[in-house]
Amino acid sequence: MTKPRVAIFDFACCEGCQLQIVNLEEDILKLIDVVDVVEWREAMSEQSHEYDIAIIEGSITREEDEHRLEIIRSRAKILIALGACAVIGGVNKMKNNFDFNEVRQCVYGKDGQMQHLNTERTKAVDEVVQVDFKIPGCPINGAEFAQIIRSLLVGKKPFVPDYPVCVECKAKETICRYEYNQICLGPITRAGCGAPCPSAGWRCFGCRGMAENPNVDAAQEVMTLYGLTVDDLKQKMVLFNSK
Q: How far is the CB of 85 from other proteins (least distance, A)?
A: 26
DSSP H/E element including 26: helix 26-34
Summary count for the chain: helices (H), strands (E) = 10, 5
- Residue 128's contacts (CB-CB under 8 Å, 6 or more residues apart) are 60, 66, 69, 70
Q: How far apart are CA 93 and CA 206, in angstroms?
A: 13
- Residues in region 8-37 near other proteins by CB under 8 A: 27, 30-31, 33-34
Q: Does 147 bind other proteins (CB under 8 A)?
A: yes
Binding other proteins (rule: CB under 8 A), the pick from 38, 54, 166, 210 is: 166
Collapsing DSSP to helix, strand or coil, 182 comes out as: coil
Burial of 229 (0-12, 13-18, 19+ CB in 10 A): middle
- Residues in region 80-139 near other proteins by CB under 8 A: none
CB nearer to other proteins: pick between 94 and 222 = 222
Q: How far apart are CA 166 and CA 197, in angstroms?
A: 12
- Residues in region 170-229 near other proteins by CB under 8 A: 170-171, 173, 175-176, 178-179, 186-188, 211-215, 217-218, 221-222, 225
CB nearer to other proteins: pick between 51 and 178 = 178
Collapsing DSSP to helix, strand or coil, 3 comes out as: coil
Q: Does 167 bind other proteins (CB under 8 A)?
A: yes
Contacts with other proteins by CB under 8 A lie at 27, 30-31, 33-34, 146-147, 150-151, 153-154, 156, 159, 162-164, 166-167, 170-171, 173, 175-176, 178-179, 186-188, 211-215, 217-218, 221-222, 225
